[in-house]
Amino acid sequence: MASASHRRPLRKRRAALVWAVAVTAVGLLVSLVIVLRPGGEPDTVRTAAGTAAGAGPSASPTTRKPTPAPKPSTASPTPRRTPAAAVSATTPPARPSPAAPRASAPRPASGAAPLAGRIKPGTTYDGVATHYDAKDGDGACLYGPSPDLMVAAMNHTDYETSQACGAYILVRAASGASVTVRITNECPLPCAPGQLDLSKEAFAKLAGLSAGRIPVTWSLLSPSTSDTVSVRYKTGSSRHWCGIQALGHRNPLARLEVRTGSGWSRLTRTEYNYFLSPDGTGCGGSLRLTDIYGEQLTVDGITIRPDTVQPTRVQFTRR
């Protein structure tokens, strides 16, 4: 009797266990169906869970997805090309700026003197004229005594490191009187730009010396002359150092060059109107003279004879 009463509860327990297993199996089956459903929401959850698990293979898809992010890097050349295109697009407007000098280069058209300094042909300058005692006509240009005293000193600014030396200037007074002078000297400060200090002899052609100072206009002149250009070597010149000067040129001189083994070498002009070769390059050899209009004269056969004026057979064209 005791064993029978003991068996009954066992059956109840088994029945309860069977029901629990059945319920669990049904639950598992439902979850499997949901999980295996294509595109189901839990699939996304599972991927995220796998990534959170930290397993290397499951993390690699995440890092590979951005790998297409090289697309930005492949796209980066496009932005670079765009600026390049923008620059090339702006270049055409910039090109007119080099062309602007050509447009504003009527200066050569008006004066046709590309090598002119401050004093340009075809231009009339306003200024004042004063006078000084020129004595023998020599001055800062170191030409030596002048055969006539129709000479003048150019103000310091327009003298321009002796570039004005030898220039012929037509000077006109308000009265209508005029005189042609040759620049042989420099008028130091306070001589103002535009001012000419004339020899007394030249000033007297315009007004009485008692006037002292008169308003004038003046312009560059290319006179007629039968003289030819001369050349002189400075005191102390040799094959190792020399100073060279050109005299009697009709038009202002822009350059003096000496011939070397590799061509022509341009010498530096001094305030006292000599062109220096400090190492003797070209001393005693061929010379090339260029005026402000760009005309060139080649001179041969000038030897090193210091302080001696040696004539040539050439002269610049009248303008």
Give the residue, 93 or 267, on which the prediction is more confident: 267
- Predicted confidence at residue 25, as pLDDT, reads 55
Q: What is the pLDDT of residues 44-96, one digit of tens each?
A: 333 333 333 333 333 333 333 333 333 333 333 333 333 333 333 333 333 33
Q: pLDDT above 90 covers what percent of the chain?
A: 65
Among 18-32, 143-157, 165-179, 239-253, the minimum mean pLDDT is found in: 18-32
CB atoms within 10 A of CB 162: 22
Mean pLDDT for 9-28 is 50
Mean pLDDT for 1-6 is 42
Mean pLDDT for 280-298 is 98
Mean pLDDT for 208-219 is 98
Q: Cα(184)–Cα(205) distance, rounded to whole angstroms?
A: 18
Mean pLDDT for 256-281 is 97
Cα 162 to Cα 82, 169, 291: the distances in Å are: 54, 15, 14
- Predicted confidence at residue 58, as pLDDT, reads 33
In the chain, where are the structural domains located?
74-104, 125-221, 230-311
- Predicted confidence at residue 254, as pLDDT, reads 98
* Domain 125-221: which CATH number of 1.10.530.10, 2.40.40.10, 1.10.10.10, 2.40.30.10: 2.40.40.10
Query: What's the one-letter identity of residue 155?
Result: N
Q: What is the pLDDT of residues 170-191, one digit of tens each?
A: 999 999 999 999 999 999 999 9
Interior/surface letters 125-152, b for 16+ CB within 10 angstroms, e for the rest: bebbbbbeebeebebbbbbeebeebbbb
4, pLDDT greater than 80: no
Q: The tokens of 179 are what?
A: 């005189």
117, pLDDT greater than 50: yes
- Predicted confidence at residue 9, as pLDDT, reads 47
What is the rounded average pLDDT for all residues in the chain?
A: 77
Give the residue, 69 or 148, on which the prediction is more confident: 148
Q: What is the pLDDT of residues 250-264, one digit of tens each?
A: 999 999 999 999 999
Band the pLDDT of 27: cuts 50, 70, 90: low
- Predicted confidence at residue 112, as pLDDT, reads 84
Q: Cα(89)–Cα(72) distance, rounded to whole angstroms?
A: 25
Q: The tokens of 80 are what?
A: 């670079």
3 state DSSP class of 25: helix
The string of DSSP letters for 249-317 reads: -SS-EEEEEEEETTEEEEPEEPTTS-EEETT-TTTTS-EEEEETT--EEEE------BT-EEE-S--PP
Give the residue, 131 or 98, on which the prediction is more confident: 131
Cβ contact 217:124 at 8 Å: yes
111, pLDDT greater than 90: no
159, pLDDT greater than 70: yes
Q: Cα(253)–Cα(269) distance, rounded to whole angstroms?
A: 10
CB atoms within 10 A of CB 224: 6
Band the pLDDT of 290: cuts 50, 70, 90: very high
Interior/surface letters 290-311, b for 16+ CB within 10 angstroms, e for the rest: bbbbeeebebeebeeeeeeeee
pTM of the model: 0.66
Fold topology of 230-311? Immunoglobulin-like (2.60.40)
Angle between helices 2-36 and 41-52 (to 10 degrees): 100
- Predicted confidence at residue 29, as pLDDT, reads 47
